[in-house]
Amino acid sequence: MGTTKSALKFNRFFVTVLMAAALAVSSIFMLSGCSAAKDADNENTQPVQEDTSQTPETTQPVDHNVDMDPTPLTDKDQVLSLEGYGAKGALVDKDLTIRDMLLYAVQDEYLAHGEYLAIVEKFGSQRPYSNIIRAEETHLAYLKEVYLSYGLDFPSDGSADHIVVPDDLLEAAQIGVQAEIDNIAMYELFLTYDLPENVSTVFSSLKRGSDSHLLAFQKQVERLD
């Protein structure tokens, strides 16, 4: 009788151990499965980081907000009498009309775009030139809207004869500094005139852009000098 009870106790203990072991193994498999599922979900839902290293602020969509139905320009405002090309011409012109100012602005933006593009073609795509090239395209698009608002044909790019290709990157940055200084001075001069609101808004915006470009080129000169 004693032997039988001992055997029963042993059997119960053995069954209990087996059940505990089975439960432990089952739990391990369940946890492994959950972990694997989470890993798979994480792989599938992991956000892809966009490479914004070459995405400048100036490439973001711009609301130009140009009045496309302004008061027409007077005959006097539409007279063209240029004294040179781009900012250098504007800064010596003593008889500026609105049409003169618009054309000088377009010429200078074309010149900056062409100059910086020539630098990139010679030395490879690098900041700040690659970023500012796109900014100049935005500036030209801005000016084009003003031309269209007055029913004027937008000028073609005639900057090729005025582009100077530098010998090295320091000279390139120095050219950029002077180009932006001239550009800013041009817009400051224009803004002393009594301008239509849409033209004044455009010139003010482009001047702010050139202020930023000037800082970028000045930092480049400091780094390379």
Judgement on whether residues 202 and 143 belong to the same structural domain of the protein: yes
Same domain, 189 and 140: yes
Quote the number of domains for the chain.
2
Question: Which tops the pLDDT comparison, 198 or 11?
Answer: 198
Residue 47 lies in a domain: no
Would 45 be classed as within a structural domain?
no
Q: Look at residue 81 in the predicted model and tell me its pLDDT.
A: 93
Do both 26 and 83 map to the same domain? Answer: no
Evaluate whether residue 50 is within a structural domain: no
88 is a domain residue: yes
**Same domain as 76, residue 32:** no
Contact 83, 93 (CB under 8 A): yes
Q: 34 and 67 in one domain?
A: no
Does 48 reside within a domain? no
Domain of residue 141 covers 57-224
Q: Which of 122, 114, 99 has the alpha carbon at shortest distance from 158?
A: 114
Report residue 64's pLDDT band, with 50, 70 and 90 as the boundaries: low
- 87 plus 194 within the same structural domain: yes
Q: Is residue 201 part of a domain?
A: yes
Do residues 28 and 130 both lie within one domain? no
Going by C-alpha positions, the residue among 184, 192, 194 that lies closest to residue 139 is 184
pTM above threshold 0.85: no
| In a shared domain, residues 90 and 22 | no
Tell me, what amino acid is at 65? N
Which tokens in the block code for residue 152? 């004027």
Q: pLDDT averaged over the chain?
A: 79
> Are 131 and 205 within one domain?
yes
Q: Are residues 24 and 101 in the same domain?
A: no
Interval 32-37 mean pLDDT: 42
CATH of the domain at 108: 1.20.1260.10
The pLDDT value recorded for residue 8 is 41
Q: Are residues 19 and 105 in the same domain?
A: no
Structure confidence at residue 36 as a pLDDT band (50, 70, 90): very low
Please report whether residue 116 resides in a domain: yes
Tell me: do 63 and 36 sit in the same domain. Answer: no
Identify the weakest region by mean pLDDT among 87-96, 124-133, 176-185, 212-221: 124-133
Q: Are 172 and 119 in contact (CB under 8 A)?
A: yes
Q: What is the mean pLDDT of residues 188-208?
A: 96
In contact, 150 and 70? CB cutoff 8 Å: yes
Confirm whether 51 is domain-assigned.
no
